[in-house]
Amino acid sequence: MSVPLLSVNNLTMRFGGLTAVDSVSFDVHRDHITAVIGPNGAGKTTAFNCITGFYKPTDGQIVLTHADDSVFKLEEMEDFRISQTAKVARTFQNIRLFGGMTVLENLMIAQHNRLMRASLYTLAGIFNTPSYQRAQKIAKEKAEFWMDRVGITDRADDPAAALPYGAQRKLEIARAMCTDPVLLCLDEPAAGLNPRESEELNTLLRSIRDTNKVGILLIEHDMSVVMEISDHIIVLDYGRKISDGTATEVRNDPAVIKAYLGVVED
């Protein structure tokens, strides 16, 4: 197999005396949906925050390789650069939208860096030059494309905070996709969704993987989502990786069964 999209090596994160993530290693492949699962407090979100730069890991390497072989050492990069140059997008466990701004505005902000360049860092924008107008139009079209794709076009001009919960989750994914990522990190995307919405999410994620060629890394509690769409599952418990493989492999791994035993999963 080719070089993995993301390669996490001995990732360790300590908060004071607490080791939340303890030398975890795994790979994420370009054409895969990779899921990180584990009981509460297993260190999933912490690992996620290290990958997306919101925490600086205590130890370990996180290497991202683009299709053109350019390599990014994420553990050394500032959070916003990880999205800007390494092209890793993320969503949040408790949705973080710009609530007072409309759906369309949310999607335009995701294209900030491109639009800033097009507006010559505001100089050309002030005078509304034709090249800026073109860039603005293209950005709007991209926003419309993703609104269509996740099915919230009719709410384009409503403030994000007014959207129902499921639509907010979709908007957050659309917003992340508007940054043109190579890796999309989703923190519990199915949390709070009803079964129909979960199903729609599965379809959306599959199509993002297949048509946009974006690698997906997700944390999820909803096993129906995880088992159905994941090509590759990593199981964490108490900050350590206890299993790694396909859905079937993981399901039959005694270590996983032990970790989940007594934990009622639904």
Partner 1 sequence: MHYFLQQLINGITLGSIYGLIAIGYTMVYGIIGMINFAHGDVFMVGSFVSLITIIIFGITGTSNVFLGIGVLVLVAAISMVIAGIYGWTIERLAYRPLRGSFRLAPLITAIGVSIFLQNFVQATQGARVKPLQAIISGGFTLLSSDDFVVRITYMQILIVVLTFLLMAGFTYLISKTSLGRAQRACEQDMKMAMLLGIDVNTTISTTFVIGAALAAVAGLMYLLYYGVIDFYIGFSAGIKAFTAAVLGGVGSLPGAMLGGLVIGLIEVFFAAYFSSEYKDVAAFSMLIVVLIFMPQGLLGRPEIEKV
Partner 2 sequence: MSQNDQSISKVLPILKRSVVATFIAFFLFLPTLGIKTAASGGVDGLFLQYRWPLLAIGCGLVFFGRIAYELMSSNKEGKQQKQAAPSALARALGSSKVAKAVAPLLLVFGLIFPFLPSSDRYILDLGILIITYVMLGWGLQIVVGLAGLLDLGYVAFYAVGAYSYALLSIHFGFGFWMCLPLAGLLAATWGVVLGFPVLRLRGDYLAIVTLAFGEIIRVVLLNWRSFTGGSNGLSSIPRPSFFGLPFNQEPGGFAATFGLEYSSLQRIIFLYFLILALAIFTYFVTGRLRRLPIGRAWEALREDEIACRSLGINTVNTKLSAFAIGAMFGGFAGSFFAAKQAFVSPESFNFMESATILAIVVLGGMSSQLGVVFSAIAMVGGVELLRQLQFLKVIFGADFDPSQLRLLLFGLAMVLMMLWRPRGLVSTRTPTVFLKDKKTVSAAMISQGRG
> Residue 56's binding partner, choosing from partner 1, partner 2, none, with beta-carbon cut-off 5 to 8 A by kind?
none
By a kind-dependent CB cut-off of 5 to 8 A, residue 195 interacts, out of partner 1, partner 2, none, with: none
Contact pattern from residue 138 through residue 157 relative to partner 2, giving x for each residue in contact according to CB under 8 A and a dash for the rest: --x---x--------x--xx
Identity of the residue, 8 or 104, whose beta carbon is nearer to partner 1 in the bound complex: 8
The β-bridge partners of 38 are none
Residues 6+ apart with CB under 8 A from 157: 102, 103, 104
Question: What minimum distance in Å lies between the beta carbon of 42 and partner 1?
Answer: 17
Answer yes or no whether residue 93 interacts with partner 2 by CB under 8 A: no
**Cβ atoms within 10 Å, residue 27:** 18
User: At its nearest, how many Å lie between partner 1 and the CB of residue 49?
Assistant: 5
| Shorter beta-carbon distance to partner 2: residue 115 or 247 | 115
Q: Which does 49 bind (CB under 5 to 8 A by kind): partner 2, partner 1, none?
A: partner 1
Here the tokens at position 27 are 């790979």
Provide Rg for the chain, Cα atoms: 19
Pick 44 or 209: Cβ nearer partner 1: 44
Residue 6 Cβ vs partner 1, minimum distance, rounded to whole Å: 19
Find the shortest distance in angstroms from Cβ 19 to partner 1. Answer: 15
End-to-end CA distance of the chain: 35
Residue 162 binds to partner 2 (criterion: CB under 8 A): yes
Q: Considering the complex, state which of residue 81 and residue 114 has its C-beta at the smaller distance from partner 1.
A: 81
Q: Which of partner 2, partner 1, none does residue 159 bind (CB under 5 to 8 Å by kind)? A: partner 2
Residues 17-76 that bind partner 2 (CB under 8 A): 52, 54
Nearer to partner 2, 101 or 191 (CB): 101
Question: Minimum distance from CB of 91 to partner 2 (Å)?
Answer: 8
Please give the residue ranges that form the binding site for partner 2 (CB under 8 A). Answer: 52, 54, 79-85, 89-90, 92, 96-102, 104-105, 108-110, 112-113, 115-116, 118-119, 121-122, 125-126, 128, 136, 140, 144, 153, 156-159, 161-162, 175-176, 179
